[in-house]
Amino acid sequence: MDPSEVDVPPLKDLTIDNITDNVKLINSKCPNPRLKYILERVVQHLHDFARETRLSHDEWMTGLLFLTSVGQICTDVRQEFILLSDILGLSLLVDSIDHPKPPQSTEGTVLGPFHSHEAQVEPNGAQISHDPDGEPCLVLCDIKDMSGKPVEGVKIDIWETDSKGFYDVQYPGREGPDQRAVMHSDKEGVFWFKAIVPVPYPIPSDGPVGKLLKQLKRHCYRPSHMHFMFEKLGYDHLITALYLRGDPYETSDAVFGVKESLIIDLGTVSSEQAQKHGVKAGSKLIGYNFVLVTEEQSRELREQNAMKAMKAQGRTMKLWNGLPVPDLD
Amino acid sequence: MDPSEVDVPPLKDLTIDNITDNVKLINSKCPNPRLKYILERVVQHLHDFARETRLSHDEWMTGLLFLTSVGQICTDVRQEFILLSDILGLSLLVDSIDHPKPPQSTEGTVLGPFHSHEAQVEPNGAQISHDPDGEPCLVLCDIKDMSGKPVEGVKIDIWETDSKGFYDVQYPGREGPDQRAVMHSDKEGVFWFKAIVPVPYPIPSDGPVGKLLKQLKRHCYRPSHMHFMFEKLGYDHLITALYLRGDPYETSDAVFGVKESLIIDLGTVSSEQAQKHGVKAGSKLIGYNFVLVTEEQSRELREQNAMKAMKAQGRTMKLWNGLPVPDLD
DSSP annotation string for A252-283: --TT----GGGEE--EE--HHHHHHHTS-TTS
- Residue by residue, DSSP assigns B243-260 as EETT-TTTT--TT----G
Residues A319 and A186 in one domain: no
Residues B287 and B301 in one domain: no
Q: Domain of A158?
A: 80-293
pLDDT at B77: 81
B91/A68 Cβ within 8 A: no
Q: Closest partner residue to A323 among B6, B45, B56, by Cβ? A: B56
Residues A220 and A309 in one domain: no
CATH number for the domain spanning B204: value is: 2.60.130.10
Chain A residues in contact with B90 (beta carbon < 8 A): 46-47, 50, 60
B94/A81 Cβ within 8 A: no
Interface residue of B12, B15, B35, B238 to substitute, partner A, most A CBs within 10 Å: B12
Residues B321 and B224 in one domain: no
Read off the pLDDT band of B180 (50, 70, 90): very high
B64/A29 Cβ within 8 A: no
Residue B266 has pLDDT above 90, yes or no: yes
Return d(Cα B93, Cα B84) in angstroms, integer.
13
Q: What is the pTM of this model?
A: 0.93
pLDDT tens digit sequence for B201-243: 999 999 999 999 999 999 999 999 999 999 999 999 999 999 9
Taking one residue from A and the other from B, the number of pairs with CB-CB distance under 8 angstroms is: 288
Q: Closest partner residue to B217 among A30, A56, A91, by Cβ? A: A30
A72/B72 Cβ within 8 A: yes
- What percentage of chain B reaches a pLDDT higher than 70? 97
Asked if A153 and A133 touch (Cβ cutoff 8 Å), the reply is no
Return d(Cα A306, Cα A317) in angstroms, integer.
10
Which run of H or E residues covers position A53? helix A33-53
pLDDT at B7: 61
- Taking the Cβ of residue A79 and every Cβ of chain B, the question of whether any pair is shorter than 8 Å is answered with yes
- Taking the Cβ of residue B3 and every Cβ of chain A, the question of whether any pair is shorter than 8 Å is answered with yes
pLDDT mean values, one per 10 residues, chain A (329 residues): 60 91 93 97 98 97 98 93 97 95 94 88 96 97 97 98 92 89 98 97 94 95 96 97 95 94 97 96 97 96 97 96 92
Could you give the count of Cα atoms lying within 13 Å of A166 in the half-sphere of its Cβ? 13
Question: Is residue A97 situated within a structural domain?
Answer: yes
Residues A287 and A309 in one domain: no
pLDDT at B97: 96
pLDDT tens digit sequence for B274-283: 999 999 999 9
Closest CA to B240 of B196, B291, B282, B200: B291
pLDDT at B113: 81
Q: Closest partner residue to B94 among A27, A55, A218, by Cβ? A: A55
B248/A3 Cβ within 8 A: yes
Contact map slice: B 14-53 vs A, CB within 8 A: 14-16, 19-20, 22-23, 26-27, 29-32, 35, 37-39, 41-43, 45-53
Residues A320 and A272 in one domain: no
- Chain A: residue whose CA lies nearest to B47: A90
- Give the residue-averaged pLDDT of B251-259: 94
A8/B35 Cβ within 8 A: no
Residues A288 and A325 in one domain: no
- Chain A: residue whose CA lies nearest to B201: A1
Residue B4 has pLDDT above 60, yes or no: no
What value of ipTM does the predicted structure carry? 0.93
Task: Looking at the complex, report in whole angstroms how far the Cα of residue B275 sits from the nearest Cα belonging to chain A.
Answer: 37
Residues A124 and A255 in one domain: yes
Residue B120 has pLDDT above 80, yes or no: yes
Residue B268 has pLDDT above 90, yes or no: yes
- Give the residue-averaged pLDDT of B185-201: 97
Interface residue of B28, B29, B53, B255 to substitute, partner A, most A CBs within 10 Å: B53
Read off the pLDDT band of B10 (50, 70, 90): confident
- Taking the Cβ of residue B99 and every Cβ of chain A, the question of whether any pair is shorter than 8 Å is answered with yes
Question: Is residue B280 situated within a structural domain?
Answer: yes
Chain B residues in contact with A219 (beta carbon < 8 A): 1, 5-6
Asked if B238 and B99 touch (Cβ cutoff 8 Å), the reply is yes
pLDDT at A3: 54
Task: Looking at the complex, report in whole angstroms how far the Cα of residue B52 sits from the nearest Cα belonging to chain A.
Answer: 7
Residues A283 and A308 in one domain: no
Asked if A264 and A286 touch (Cβ cutoff 8 Å), the reply is yes
The helix-helix angle for A80-87 and A90-98 (nearest 10°) equals 90
- Taking the Cβ of residue B173 and every Cβ of chain A, the question of whether any pair is shorter than 8 Å is answered with no
Asked if A40 and B43 touch (Cβ cutoff 8 Å), the reply is no
Q: Which ranges of chain B does DSSP label H, i.e. alpha helix?
A: 19-27, 33-53, 57-72, 80-87, 90-98, 208-215, 271-277, 295-312
Residues A281 and A223 in one domain: yes
Question: Is residue A307 situated within a structural domain?
Answer: yes
Question: Is residue B61 situated within a structural domain?
Answer: no
Q: Closest partner residue to A258 among B12, B16, B38, by Cβ? A: B12
pLDDT at B194: 97
Could you give the count of Cα atoms lying within 13 Å of A310 in the half-sphere of its Cβ? 19
pLDDT at B3: 54
pLDDT at A12: 84
Look at residue B70 and give its three-state secondary structure: helix
B218/A26 Cβ within 8 A: yes
Residues A321 and A222 in one domain: no
Task: Looking at the complex, report in whole angstroms how far the Cα of residue B306 sits from the nearest Cα belonging to chain A.
Answer: 6
Query: Which residues does B319 contact at the CB level (< 8 Å), separation at least 6?
Result: B303, B306, B307, B325
Read off the pLDDT band of B11 (50, 70, 90): confident
Question: Is residue A62 situated within a structural domain?
Answer: no
Residue B1 has pLDDT above 80, yes or no: no
CA distances (Å), origin B63, targets A90, B4, B59, B69, B287? 12, 37, 6, 10, 44
B10/A251 Cβ within 8 A: yes
Q: What is the average pLDDT score of chain B?
A: 94
pLDDT at B5: 58
Chain B residues in contact with A97 (beta carbon < 8 A): 16, 50-51, 54-56
Which pairing describes strands A136-144 and A190-196: parallel, antiparallel, or unpaired?
antiparallel
Look at residue A233 and give its three-state secondary structure: coil
Return d(Cα A232, Cα A240) in angstroms, integer.
15
Question: Is residue B170 situated within a structural domain?
Answer: yes
Amino acid code (one letter) for A188: E
Asked if B60 and A85 touch (Cβ cutoff 8 Å), the reply is yes
Query: Which residues does B272 contact at the CB level (< 8 Å), separation at least 6?
Result: none
Which pairing describes strands B136-145 and B284-292: parallel, antiparallel, or unpaired?
parallel
Residues B170 and B231 in one domain: yes
Question: Is residue A185 situated within a structural domain?
Answer: yes
pLDDT at A240: 97
Question: How many domains are there within chain B?
Answer: 3
Asked if B160 and B179 touch (Cβ cutoff 8 Å), the reply is yes
A324/B54 Cβ within 8 A: yes
Question: Is residue A169 situated within a structural domain?
Answer: yes
Return d(Cα B214, Cα B208) in angstroms, integer.
10
